[in-house]
Structure 1
Amino acid sequence: MTPNRPYLLRALYEWILDNAMTPQLLVDTSVAGIVVPVNYIEKGRMILNIQPDAVRDLVLGNEQITFSARFGGKSFQLIVPLNSVLAVYARENGKGLIFEAEEKNTSILPEKPNEKTGKLLKPHLKVIK
């Protein structure tokens, strides 16, 4: 399956705006491909206000977030890969979501071998009509 992070991020962004609050992103600035103004990085992280009044041309894509914002009076084009987003939350009350590190396999089915036989465990569910 495709990662759920972009869908959750877009949903929370809209939810925060619907509640008349300010959506913010906490990003890991050490992730490859991120483009942010370096003067505003603190301890390898940065908080970005993505409220519509604070940004221009915001695109919440499936691979990255892009937008233009002003820092110290200067316009800056930001590129934020989705795997660098650590959290999305409302500035006013902190409500939102902290993302876990993405794993390659997000299956909920067991993949451990049976201790007795050494074979992979199969799902024990069956179709009921």
Structure 2
Amino acid sequence: MTSSKPYLIRAIYEWIADNGCTPYISVDTTFPGTDVPKQYIVDNTITLDISSEATHQLLIDNEAVTFKARFGGVGHDLYIPISAVVAIYAQENTQGMEFPYEEHENYLDETEQADLPEAIPAKTGKLQLKVISGGKEQ
């Protein structure tokens, strides 16, 4: 059988949105193929608002979560393999689902992690996505 993970992500996304809440995903950015704005990565993780207000052309298929979004006024095309999604939850009450981290061959070792750029705080203004750490907005 195929993985149930993409089906669960889609179902929880719909449940969160139907209840008037904001769906967020947490992503393991060390997973191969993950394409997100590097400057917002903290401890190899990025948390993203994937609500319809924050994204354009959101697609959650069996392979990946893809969408367009603006960070600091700059447009980005994001690509997140389903295996890189470690949680989906409502921003307002943290209800949702966590998934186990999946092992992969290209996991960054400590030296490679040290080479990643430092995270910078989110700029204020008309950002559509919010950078959060530990469930709190920065």
Distance 2:102 2:68 in 1: 26
Q: Look up the match of 2:20.
A: 20
Deviation at 1:66, TM superposition (A): 0.5
- Amino acid across the alignment from 1:77: D
* Number of residue pairs aligned between Structure 1 and Structure 2: 103
| The structure with more radius of gyration | 1
Distance 2:28 2:100 in 1: 12
Q: Look up the match of 2:91.
A: 91
Q: Look up the match of 2:49.
A: 49
Distance 1:68 1:96 in 2: 23
Deviation at 1:72, TM superposition (A): 0.5
Deviation at 1:100, TM superposition (A): 2.1
Runs of 4+ displaced beyond 4 Å: none
What is the SS of the residue equivalent to 2:7?
Answer: helix
In the TM superposition, 1:113-128 aligns within 5 A as none
Using the size of structure 1 for normalisation, the TM-score is 0.78
Unaligned 5+ runs, structure 1? 104-129
RMSD: 1.1
In the TM superposition, 1:36-115 aligns within 5 A as 36-101=36-101
1:67 and 1:86, CA in 2 relative to 1: closer, same or farther beyond 3 A? Answer: same
- Amino acid across the alignment from 1:72: G
Q: Which has the higher contact order (CA 8 A, sep 6+)?
A: 2
Distance 1:92 1:101 in 2: 24
Using the size of structure 2 for normalisation, the TM-score is 0.73
Distance 2:46 2:21 in 1: 19
